[in-house]
Amino acid sequence: MRDNEMTTPEIRIAEAGTTGIRPLLEIRDLAITFKTSGGEVQAVRDAHLTIMPGETVAIVGESGSGKSTTALAAIGLLPSNGRVSGGQILLDGEDIAHAPEKRMIELRGNTIGMVPQDPMSNLNPVWKIGYQVRETLRANGQPNGPDDVAKVLSQAGLPDAHRRAGQYPHEFSGGMRQRALIAIGLSCQPRLLIADEPTSALDVTVQRQILDHLDTMTTELGTSVLLITHDLGLAAERADKVVVMYQGRVVEAGPSLELLRNPRHPYTKRLVESAPSLASRRIQAAKEQGVETADLLAPAAEPAAADNVLQIQDLRKVYKLRQGLGKSSDFAAVDGVSFDVKRGTTTAIVGESGSGKSTVAKMVLQLEKPTDGRILFDGVDTSVLKPADLFKFRRRVQPIFQDPYGSLDPMYNIYRTIEEPLRVHKIGDKASREKKVRELLDQVALPQSAMQRYPNELSGGQRQRVAIARALALDPEVIICDEAVSALDVLVQAQVLNLLADLQANLGLTYLFITHDLAVVRQIADHVCVMEKGRLVETGSTDDVFESPRQDYTKALLNAIPGAKLMLPPEVA
Amino acid sequence: MVRFILRRLLQVIPVFLGTTLLVYYMVFALPGDPIAALFGDRQPPQAVIDTLRSQYHLDEPFWVQYGIFLKNLFTFNLGNDFTGQPIAAALARVFPVTAMLAIEALAIQAIFGVAFGVFAGLRRGGWFDSTVLVASLVVIAVPTFVLGFVFQLVFGVQLGWAKPTVGANADWGSLLLPAVVLGLVSFAYVLRLTRTSVSENMNADYVRTATAKGLSRPRVVLAHILRNSLIPVVTYLGANLGGLMGGAIVTEGIFNVPGVGNKLYQAVLRSEGPTIVSIVSVLVLVFVVANLLVDLLYAWLDPRIRYDQ
């Protein structure tokens, strides 16, 4: 079914190279324009990359860098307001940049396959998994009986494929859905697979399994892979070549390891420096950085040792799962968790989705009632607080949530967002509140002019700074960060983590950091609590846990960090 | 599934008792004496009034009247209206007519509304979309009685395409014109709902993935856009069926359709409690069954909705 492309006459031109092997995909001077209400916007300009048969090439960049747009152009799936405004996309010598839709339908599926980013939204919820595989096979003229469908699914690592084919997407976990999508993407043995952030929505351990499996399958089939990712570590680990995109341009390209060790472009350098990894150390606040390391570690810990601002004792949270007819079964989301948080330090709770880490955070914030156990704040049991005391408690413990897009009220401007807690707690008059808001904006390094703007006019990083300013408004002692930097690009993430570290040093804040990202933990935390299925499986200082993890689960988590080994200094690796 | 249907049917009982009680009480509380109204300006002898009162149990307190009504209902004896006609026979005459009208109107809404909506939604901002949007806005803005009279005049009288009024012998053909008028407003809503739903789903990730799999455009539209877009439309259509069965008073009046709307209107004018409540009881059943059908259709359209665990 591929031979028809071999006969196209243009092939000769592309074969000018002396190696005799023609690139499978060659993108030359590609420019992509989007029509917006504000006129035409150039999303990609002068992009170029080459993928040889069987090769894996990664495009790395932050959101908005044009990496996904470039990949979508290669399979002819630009959004309706976007178009290729210049350059060529040569697939086996044939320019498909402006190919008619009919030709693209021929190519999609059996010549160019795609594994999309978000497994939750990329399967149609109303069709069975088997049907969605089958229609792919049928559209590309492949045998599509029940056994063929099951074979495709089991090759992608789905056990019990016959039964699974009869299930709907909502009956699958995220990892299983991603396997189904990989099955669909590879079902017609395409020569090129476009994998757009194929695992960024998954837990690290699942991510590793899926990527390993994808590697095996593409190696067996000899498929070329165009991998799109924001994660430099992952790109370097999985790809032969890395192409770095920044603001719509390719700024650097080369073999993975070389690019990682000798980045030349300033953006790549920053990307390599701020890529969180095992090798990185805890961020020191700016004012402490001049001080000797020995002084740094010792005094902070010793005098504070006795002062536990939070004590979690044997905390349990049991949810009732409805099973119809008034029957229900108990599900322990959090099961006997105990730990202390020392004043002025950062404690991280890590775990995968479903480990109960966010439930702990909610209970500490008094947003959920514990089924059992106690939470002592400054030595006082929070479960017996009267409403008036609870109100005071909320002033001293503030949250920062994950989604900077969802957690700010879009109808409130920034001034009103930050001022609201002050108003609710009746602090100061109008003039003094405005002064406080200005101070807070300074503290989080946002311009005063931001006061009159609305959340949708700010970037993700700026919004998270607003969320931090809002949390700081009441001069809290403890800040609970629930995945506070997970939604941010690497460089922005590094800036926000630095900001949090500075604020901690200046204001003596205590952080309880909920995250699935061990690399972030390494950068920010003093103590780590590892949770698995509602239980605390390991606790200790960050250095101890990272250097000598005792539990298998912790080891698995650490091993699963992409690029972990690559990022170590050369002499260690 | 069976258990779900049974549970839903059991829910009919409280709904039924509640609505009939409420409607019966409202009729009971209406000012004016229905017996006196029967005689117009003449003053009948007191003995006649008393006989009629006890015959229709109007001299009894409210709870007794309601109790008698329920008892009659469960023995399938709806009694007579104030003109001496059996209520059951009247219902058997009017409901089929209205059911035909409603089904015809529903079919017009569903078929044309969805088809136009899909075409408009797929080419949002195109000439078809713009034309259809303006036209539907006009339809929504103009009151039904104006549309009804205009259609009656243009298609019924001037062009002679259809009978201007329906009269006693209603059939599918003669009901077409009133069905168009009746369905037109909801057609506009169905169209707009489908259009929005389609143009939203068009940008869904799974639609892009379906295209990336190499499916042809018609398949992507039918299997991945249309089915997902129908979910809100079905909700609206289901709720609307109940409305069509009971609420066609204006349209039935204009086209002289001998249906439920007409009958209900006359019964309200005469404060005929038993007739009104009988009609309402049937409508309650229709509503419940229509909603049940919608819920079942839902489960078929969207497998994430499950009724039995």
The sign of the dihedral angle between the CA atoms of A296, A299, A300, A301 is positive
pLDDT in the model for residue A10? 38
Q: Is B247 helix (H, G, I), strand (E, B) or coil?
A: coil
Report pLDDT for A277. Answer: 55
pLDDT at A347: 93
Per-residue pLDDT, A302: 42
- Of the partner residues B204, B213, B228, the one whose CB lies closest to the CB of residue A108: B213
| Residue B309, pLDDT score | 42
Token digits of residue B238: 């289901």
Give alpha helix (H) positions in A188-292: 204-221, 232-238, 256-261, 266-274
Question: How far is Cα A292 from Cα A270, in angstroms, rounded to an integer?
Answer: 25
**Looking at this predicted complex, what is its ipTM?**
0.75
Query: Are residues A108 and B224, on separate chains, in Cβ contact within 8 Å?
Result: no
Torsion sign over Cα A512, A517, A522, A523: negative
Q: Show residues of chain A in contact with B216, CB under 8 Å.
A: 105, 139
- H runs (alpha helix) in A120-197: 129-139, 146-155, 161-165, 174-186
Closest CB to A77: pick one of B212, B223, B228. B212
> Closest approach of chain B CAs to the CA of A173, in angstroms?
14
A322, closest residue in chain B (CA to CA): B309
Chain B nearest C-alpha distance from A69 (Å): 13
Interface check A99 vs B, CB under 8 A:
no
Coil, strand or helix at B309 = coil
Mutate: best of A112, A122, A186, A193, partner B, most B CBs <10 A: A122
Interface contact A126-B204, CB threshold 8 A: no
Chain B interface disruption, residue of A102, A105, A126, most B CBs within 10 A:
A126
Q: A1, A2, A81, A105: best mutation site toward chain B, by most B Cβ within 10 Å?
A: A105
Nearest CA in chain B to A140: B214
Q: What predicted TM-score, i.e. pTM, was given to this entire model?
A: 0.74
**A400 beta partners:** A481
Our CA dihedral for A273, A275, A278, A283, rounded to 10 degrees, sits at 70
Q: How far is CA A137 from CA A116, B97, B232, in A?
A: 18, 50, 31
Among B216, B301, B302, select the one facing A105 at the smallest CB separation: B216
How many CB atoms are closer than 10 A to CB B171? 10
Rounded Cα gap, residues A40 and A424, in angstroms: 44
Single out the residue of B206, B212, B208 nearest to residue A185, CA to CA.
Answer: B212
**Cα A169 to Cα A191: distance, rounded to the nearest angstrom:** 27
Find the residue in A nearest to B124 (Cα). Answer: A80
User: What sign does the dihedral B217-B220-B223-B229 (CA atoms) show?
Assistant: negative
Residue A228's pLDDT is what?
A: 92
Is the minimum CB–CB distance between B222 and chain A shorter than 8 Å?
Answer: no
CB pairs under 8 A between A and B: 87
pLDDT values of chain A reduced to their tens digit, one per residue, 573 residues? 444 444 433 333 334 444 568 899 999 999 999 887 778 888 899 899 999 998 999 999 887 788 889 999 999 998 888 899 999 999 988 999 898 999 999 999 999 999 998 888 899 998 999 999 999 999 999 998 999 999 999 888 888 888 889 888 888 888 888 889 999 998 998 999 999 888 876 777 778 888 888 888 888 888 999 999 888 888 888 899 999 998 889 999 999 888 888 888 998 888 887 766 544 556 655 445 444 343 444 344 444 445 888 999 999 988 876 655 556 678 888 988 999 999 989 999 988 877 888 889 989 998 888 988 999 998 888 888 888 888 889 889 999 987 777 788 888 889 999 999 999 888 888 899 999 999 889 888 888 888 888 887 787 788 888 998 999 898 899 999 988 887 777 788 888 888 888 888 888 899 999 988 888 888 888 999 999 888 999 998 888 888 888 888 888 888 777 766 555 444 333
B223 and A139 within 8 Å at the Cβ level: the answer is no
Contacts of A106 in chain B (CB under 8 A): 214
User: Nearest CA to B239 among B281, B290, B169?
Assistant: B290
Query: Which single residue is written with the structure tokens 């539907």?
Result: B136
Tokens 């229900």 sit on residue: A328
Report the 10 Å Cβ neighbour count for A52.
17
How high is the pLDDT of residue A91?
Answer: 92
Q: Does B308 touch chain A (CB under 8 A)?
A: yes
Judge: B206–A184 Cβ closer than 8 Å, yes or no.
no
B227 shares contact with chain A (CB less than 8 Å)? yes
Q: What b/e string do you get for B100-134 counting C-beta neighbours within 10 Å, with b at 16 or more?
A: bbbbbbbebbbebbbebbbbbbbebeeeebeebbe
Residue of B nearest to A188 (CA): B213
Does B219 contact chain A (CB < 8 Å)?
Answer: yes
Q: Do B214 and A122 touch (CB under 8 A)?
A: no
Of A357, A351, A374, A408, the closest CA to residue A556 belongs to A351
Q: Please tell me which of the candidates A114, A168, A324 has its beta carbon nearest to residue B212.
A: A114
Q: Is-contact A477 A397, C-beta < 8 A?
A: yes
B24 is written with which tokens?
A: 């019966």
* Residue of chain A minimizing CA distance to B203: A79
pLDDT of residue B220: 93
Out of B203, B219, B304, the one facing A125 most closely (by C-beta) is: B304
For chain A, percent of residues with pLDDT exceeding 70: 87
All residues of chain A having their beta carbon less than 8 Å from the beta carbon of residue B302 are 125-126
Which residue in A107, A126, A168 is closest to B301 by CB distance? A126
Asked if B227's CB is within 8 angstroms of A170's CB, the reply is no
Q: Is A95 helix (H, G, I), strand (E, B) or coil?
A: strand
* B214 → chain A, closest CA residue: A108
Chain A, nearest residue to B230 by Cα: A126
Backbone angles phi, psi at A195, to 5 degrees: -110, 105
Backbone angles phi, psi at A347, to 5 degrees: -115, 130
Q: Is the CB of A124 less than 8 angstroms away from the CB of B206? A: yes
Please give the residue of chain B at the shortest CA–CA distance from A167. B303
Between vectors from CA A274 to CA A273 and to CA A278, what angle results, nearest 5°?
A: 90
- Residue A304: per-residue pLDDT: 43
Of A109, A168, A185, Cβ closest to residue B304: A168
R_g over Cα of chain B: 24
pLDDT of residue A323: 58
Which residues of chain B, if any, have pLDDT below 70?
A: 32, 34, 36-38, 40, 246-247, 306-309
Residues of B with Cβ-Cβ distance to A107 under 8 angstroms: 214
Is A126 at the interface with chain B, CB within 8 A? yes
- Residues of chain B neighbouring A321 (CB-CB closer than 8 A): none
Give the three-state DSSP class for A28: strand
Residues β-bridged to residue A59: A228, A243
Calculate ∠ Cα B67-B73-B78, nearest 5°: 110
Nearest chain A CA: its distance from B112 CA (Å)? 24
Partner-chain residue, chosen from B206, B211, B216, that has the shortest CB–CB distance to A121: B206
> Distance between CA A429 and CA A433 in Å, rounded?
6
Q: Does B218 touch chain A (CB under 8 A)?
A: no
- Smallest Cα distance from A345 to chain B, Å: 42
Window 186-205 of B, Cβ < 8 Å to A: 203-205
- What is the DSSP code (8-state) at residue A108? B
